[in-house]
Structure 1
């Protein structure tokens, strides 16, 4: 990967009006420090607060900002996919819009991405979530790893760097964003992990409950395990 190659930061948004201005300022500071061309692609998942109007304002003031606005709420995975489709680069950085991911980690993650791997995953070694959320996430990661064997410490960290062409080939389904590592590995991606900063949520509330997430996760795991076992792969020896 060229040190001058453009990258796209894809950001799903749902009711994050109090975080967006600060988030973009931090992204801009981190992205500009790389010396590379970049863009921020916000995907508004039909927010009911002022998120979309704030995103419109950012797009009017900053040439780097683009956005997609959903007509109805479709969920985080759909928002990520819309961002991948809209991204105008071959390098995609994903992160949440709640300020818990730290944009200052973007440069070192981009530095780890390139000829040796096609995916870099953030590892929140010191999480700033509640005890209940940390424990439930640890259990979920252990179960997910047992089912998928993706070999990743922190699948749930949204801060990732990935090749856009591989992302666009992934099977698309609800909650697929929780399985990006194994889905990317099925496309031949090599994965590297980087320890990243994790911050407390300063404004807004989490958009899901622990029980809801656990129940959905069990259902998803059954489907993902089926995909893994039925995955078709081949190598071409010769063709004309």
Structure 2
């Protein structure tokens, strides 16, 4: 089973078309959709009630009593997931669900050495300022962490559930998933994905506040990398 985790805050208008596309591209697979409602103040709850009633696959609604951000929303979804693989996608519609299947296939084709498959956005639809800040952040992160992806901020990812649950969670985890997976002893694969403009609403994340938090998080992940021992191969020896 693939557990598709969608963190969202005030994305009621974007949810139905996004789930329509998931049904179109993944309706023949064993899936569940977990929408993590991060303290929304719109009618997200009512929209999800309607979506759950009409879908052939499970549409689950996890609600936070207060907004805690994207990373902890992913954590809630991952801990609740019933699938062997977790696929993540943003709730604003900028990520195209047609790439979820190829990401999962790329992950599984890589065998046990591969821990995560990442989407890498091309033809970005954000403002020029946001594109430039993202490009610089990705260059800096890649230079320091060597995390084998040029776009760790893309919301489209596929990760083995058991590996995902072993990762440290903090306010910013979602920007460093490839590096954290590498620290667990696994490798990273990636595919290019086309970016899309947001359908409805406005972004819940700003450039300056995200940049300040990201710099601190980058130092923290670098520290974890420096302090982490090489992961050993563990073998249980049977008694004669």
Query: Normalising by structure 1, what TM-score?
Result: 0.93
Q: Which residue of 1 aligns with 2:86?
A: 92
Q: Residues 7-86 of structure 1 correspond to what in structure 2 (within 5 A)?
A: 7-32=2-27, 35-62=28-55, 63-86=57-80
Structure 2 unmatched ranges of 5 or more: none
1:77–1:177 contact (8 Å) kept in structure 2:
yes
Q: CA deviation at 1:107?
A: 2.0
Once superposed, what is the RMSD of the aligned Cα atoms?
1.4
| Number of equivalent positions | 233
1:101–1:158 contact (8 Å) kept in structure 2:
yes
Q: Which residue of 2 aligns with 1:3?
A: none
Q: Which has the higher strand share?
A: 2
1:105–1:197 contact (8 Å) kept in structure 2:
no
Q: Which residue of 2 aligns with 1:199?
A: 196
Q: Which residue of 2 aligns with 1:162?
A: 159
**CA deviation vs aligned residue, 1:141-178 (integer Å, no higher than 9, x gap):** 01111221112111110101110000000011111110
Q: Residues 124-203 of structure 1 correspond to what in structure 2 (within 5 A)?
A: 124-203=121-200
Q: Name the CA distance, whole Å, in 1 between partners of 2:236 and 2:64.
A: 45
Q: CA deviation at 1:118?
A: 2.6
Q: Name the CA distance, whole Å, in 2 between partners of 1:97 and 1:165.
A: 23
Q: Name the CA distance, whole Å, in 1 between partners of 2:213 and 2:195.
A: 25
CA gap of 1:222–1:64, structure 2 versus 1, over 3 A, is: same
Q: Name the CA distance, whole Å, in 2 between partners of 1:126 and 1:81.
A: 29
SS in 2 for 1:138: helix
Q: Name the CA distance, whole Å, in 2 between partners of 1:186 and 1:56.
A: 39
1:13–1:51 contact (8 Å) kept in structure 2:
no
Q: CA deviation at 1:115?
A: 4.2
1:46–1:73 contact (8 Å) kept in structure 2:
yes
Moved more, 59-68 or 208-217: 59-68
Match of 2:220 among 198, 219, 223: 223
Moved segments of 4+, more than 4 Å: none
